Structure 1
Amino acid sequence: MRSLLLTILLFSLMGGSVLAQDPVDVSIVINGKALDGDPPPRLVGESIYIPMRKVFTALGAQVRSENNVIIAQRGRLMMSFRPNVNVANVDGKEIELEEAPLLLAGTVYVPLRFDSVAYDGNTKTVTVVPGAAAAAPEISVPQERIALLKTGLTQLVVGNQGAILKVRDASGDKEVYYRGLDDRDTAPYSDKDHDGIVGACGVQNDLKGWVKDTIEAFTVLPKRQAIAFLGMVYSIPSSSVKDPGPAVDDAIEEFLISVVKENKSVVLRRQAVLSMAVGDQEDLEVLEAVLRLYETSENLWETFPVQQYFQYHADDLRKLPNFPAIRARVAAVNSLYTANILQYLDGQKP
């Protein structure tokens, strides 16, 4: 059980905008025993970060540092990573982290994942709960389908601005489809892109089913690639013979909105906005989710694709009867991006 908790705490890293790194008065309790507060937990953005060595040691792991590489081992489970790098190695396999561990005041910190711990805001206590870590959402997708999804999604190379940039073969050694550089002009998908990506991933014969399975099995899949894949499908025009239908679009919209509203990872929220941006048609619920994020987030990295959303959809938005209210909400946001977005909405090029 402690090995499971150790894995969850490291590799389910929760996103958070790095706006502050202040110590917080929060107690950490593991197996009923409170840890001392030196070094203290820290508040980074909206997330509580915990000292990695202290917590992992309390969970029964041996922790050491070699040439700026942090190594944690318990039994046969071994993992290693570098501070401020979002790639880790688990038993010889490289894994991309949603958020990198941070080196703060000489201590390596990892962000809490609140489905593996219980947090009491009244007593300011974080309690590691073994039962919570063991629990997992029920997934009805067959394991062989999940394995195929993992393989296909891992083939996708996803950019910060350009959505899916290219597709590699299953071995990862050969590039089988290339779209362009990581630039906002690359993000909108063409009909050729749809064919190339869907074909390279081998999901052309059951696109509707693969979308359904991706959403249901999301928690066990490469998450960023999964969101990018759903965005690519969402971008298929309704007039195309490849379009899986309005019900699939509705399911993708609902899923992306939930990620933007509820997911703790800034990386995944950002990717969801980019997937919304490349969508084929305007949707009022999607628009509201994007506007709300722009109004409430102070993280410029997270809100960067909001510009792309308005850039790609400005023509359709100007046709809406409530366009003046939309423009006014954008104008009221104190952000470096507001001027550019207003120019897009006004039909001008920044």
Structure 2
Amino acid sequence: MTLRFIGAALLIFAAVSLPAVAKTTRHPVSTPIAIAVSINGAPLNVEPPPRFVGGRLLVPVRRILDALGLPFDRRGKTITTQAGDRTITLTADSELRGVLYAPLRFFSAGLGASAEYDSRSKTVEIISSLLGHSSVVSVAGGGREYMGVVQAVDNDSRPPAITVTSGASVKTLRISPGAHVLVNDAAANTTVPGSLESVHVGDYAKISVRKDGSVDRVIDSFASSHGRIAAINGNTILLNDGQVIVPTGVTALSLNGEGARTTDLQVGDAVDVRYNLETSEIREIIASRKAPTGMVAAGSVEIESIEPSLSRPLRQGDSFSITMHATPGGQARFDVGAYFTGLAMTESSPGVYTGRYTIPRGANFASAPIFGHLNVHGTEAPRAQSLNEISASSLPPGVNDIAPEQGQTVNNPQPSIYATFTAGAVPVSPSSVVLIVNGHDVTASTTRTARFVEYHPLSAYGDGPVRVTVRVGDQAGNATSKSWTFTIRTH
């Protein structure tokens, strides 16, 4: 996968006329040096590879721990792993596109490994005695945890199954009734209950199996982004937020629910991009485009129109109806973009077909049109597309950076207090943001946007703890909160 930000985009699209893009702060672009990795003398395929950023060599953490057979439990930038009877807690300080990186001393100081960089061969060499299974970890209670990239999801069999791969290891697991599914979007920093329909090929999955062999829990992890196409140059796509997207051979690309190529896309198309959390490979690009107005196919079997009853952003449990006007006496069905397809409709009166849909757990999509299908006595009508689109999210916004940080001590009695937000498919609603400091609602004195809230106290606080709570919701009504405490000490 190739993923760079606006600095690189300006070079790539120098010959393309682009709309103005607001200046944003991005991670520094790494020096383009191909760096290999070997573990105990054996080459390890690491994608994305180690990279130099700001003169520092950074190595992706999870891929190395997986190769050593060590569990990976992440909380922010703190990582906990288990080696025999030892619990090891480490901190990695760099994150690029949802992938956590650390300098070589992370592995030498934290794991007691020999970690060196050979500049002649451009190879990171790690030698460690902490070796285990490459994709299976024993857990408390006699159970096991399987980890790897999702290769297949079979929702049609009973019970359904998930196949994960890690290196040469391939494991298919039957998902027990009652197994818990959690969906983790690392880009939005959110984890919510989901369903197997939320698990996509290319995601990274951790599947916990009880001692009796039944599956207890599935944690599905990925990173996603949403935007509109600002420019296209060959196989390279520039989004309106400055991201440069280059599909690869493993990327599934669709436009309005049908298979597509990059050349089929246009400026202004809405896109959902889904990345593998560990490799940052682009695994899925789902594009949608509004239907042109006044376009009705002529013929003996036709669909005049199809529209949803709602066009506002929706959340889990929200329902909407769909009405389609078409040739009477047929069998009708509808799709919600490329996400949910083949949904039944009934003919409520001659030529009027209706259906209803409820947003399920784990749904997270933007600007999805409704597609209508009709078959009358074996004759298929041309597919119809709604003018209005549906956006939905069951993921609340994430609260990412905060300042002052949890546990921090500052010597300024009037510190600037802020928090930044990351939304899923549905944007943050600035009017939903509430900031409470030491039990007082100071929201009226803040600056609120869809990306951050900032507060500059008008009077000084006394020395001691300062307790902060921020609440934020998106336009669909999903809400979350975060609380933290810092300390003021002026003398």
Higher helix share: 1
Above 0.5 in TM-score?
no
* TM-score normalised over the length of structure 1: 0.27
More strand by share: 2
Task: Please say which structure displays the higher CA radius of gyration.
Answer: 2
Greater length-normalized contact order (CA 8 Å, ≥ 6 residues apart): 1
